[in-house]
Amino acid sequence: MKSPLKSPRNNTAAKRGYMVQSVVRAVTILNAFQSTSEVLDLRVVASRAGLHKATTFRLLETLVETHLLERAGKHGYRCCVQPARAKRYRIGYGSQTSLLPFTATVSDGLVVAANAANIDLLVLNNGLSPRFALQNADTFVSEKVDLVIDSQINIGVAAQIAVKFSEARIPFIALDIPHPGATYFGADNYKAGRMAGRHLARWAAKAWKNGPEQIILLGVDAAGPLLNARLTGVLDGINEVSAFSHRIPTHHYDTKGGQFEATLDIVRRHIRRRKPERALIGAVNDSAALAALQAFREAGIERSCAIAGQDGSLAAREEMRRTSSRLICSVAYFPETYGERIIRLALDILKHRPVAPAVFVQHEVLTPQNVDKIYPNDAWMKSAPETIEPQRKLQ
């Protein structure tokens, strides 16, 4: 009598019976490394592999002894073999704009990190335009990318973009502005603004005997309350230190995306109309902050203002190094670190690893007193020769 045919399910079970679990776990450890340049510690490897730390440690040490891994530093490990990939991921990146230094730094970092991780990155420019952002979302869907990293500030189209990706079953990461259904990566906007407001108020209490006589807030209304939470934080931070903002007029302006030229024109008009004598200025980003500073300088009344920016850009850091500059501070987000972190987050999502719904970046108040300590290599960066930027696709 012929033996009964085995079902595919039985065949799978039979194959599993031949598997050596210790080998499977060792391969899982190796696959936790995304490239041969990545250095991971025990905690990260255990999290990515989904194994207990003690088991992970024994496997790591075994792989080191067999020369498949090597130790890097005191607590790190580096993979000596290129991890096998079932496929090369293709990720779409909708850049907010190429006009702002902050987003340009983020874009450059993403290109480098994607290349290191063997990812095909399709880059399109949202150009601060809701129409372009919607068109680019359609392009990402038609290109059937595996995941989208979207940086666009127009809250009015956030739900439409989210639906496009949801219907196409494409996971996405929203930079700076939360979108429905997206994993958020970026600033804690209110917290960052509050840090700036506290510093402004402390500075004003020391520098101006009679305190400020007005507050100017330079925001981005297209982003809704989310990005402008930085300005809410500025006011609350001022109130924590003093009662300035309860008794003096506050002027809010939309800077059309935080762009330099638009802000410069707005602050010039404000100076002509309001003739400020002691103005505290909270700006949504460094471009707006530097534009406000230029407007006061042009009018010959720079000492009538004290300005707090956001981003910690190179231009803001250079300005704070000027003697007696009235750019009092800028809250740094360290965009030069975004690329590697975002790509790592994207790979975790694509590999169905658990991720937090929101990943907030580090914030630190930069001042003329600490800027050289936090960014000691700025002078070297300015004198370093330019490198050839990797090719990328732009709209």
Model pLDDT, residue 120:
95
Q: Which residues contact 147 (CB under 8 A, 6 or more apart)?
A: 89, 91, 92, 170, 171, 172, 173, 346, 349, 350
**Domains of the chain in sequence order:** 22-79 (1.10.10.10), 90-186+336-360 (3.40.50.2300), 189-332+369-373 (3.40.50.2300)
Model pLDDT, residue 381:
58
Q: pTM for this one?
A: 0.74
> Rounded to an integer, what distance in angstroms lies between the CA atom of residue 109 and that of residue 335?
8
Model pLDDT, residue 7:
44
* Average pLDDT per block of 10 residues along the chain, 395 residues long: 44 56 88 84 90 91 92 89 73 90 92 92 94 97 97 94 97 94 96 97 94 96 90 95 79 93 97 96 97 98 98 95 96 95 96 94 96 90 45 39
The DSSP 8-state label assigned to residue 20 in this structure reads -
Based on DSSP, count helices (H) and strands (E) in the chain, helices before strands. Answer: 16, 15
Write the DSSP string, 194-263: HHHHHHHHHHHHHH-TT--SEEEEEE-GGGTTTTTHHHHHHHHHHHHH-SHHHHS-EEEEE-TTT-HHHH
> Rounded to an integer, what distance in angstroms lies between the CA atom of residue 12 and that of residue 27?
20
> Rounded to an integer, what distance in angstroms lies between the CA atom of residue 316 and that of residue 333?
13
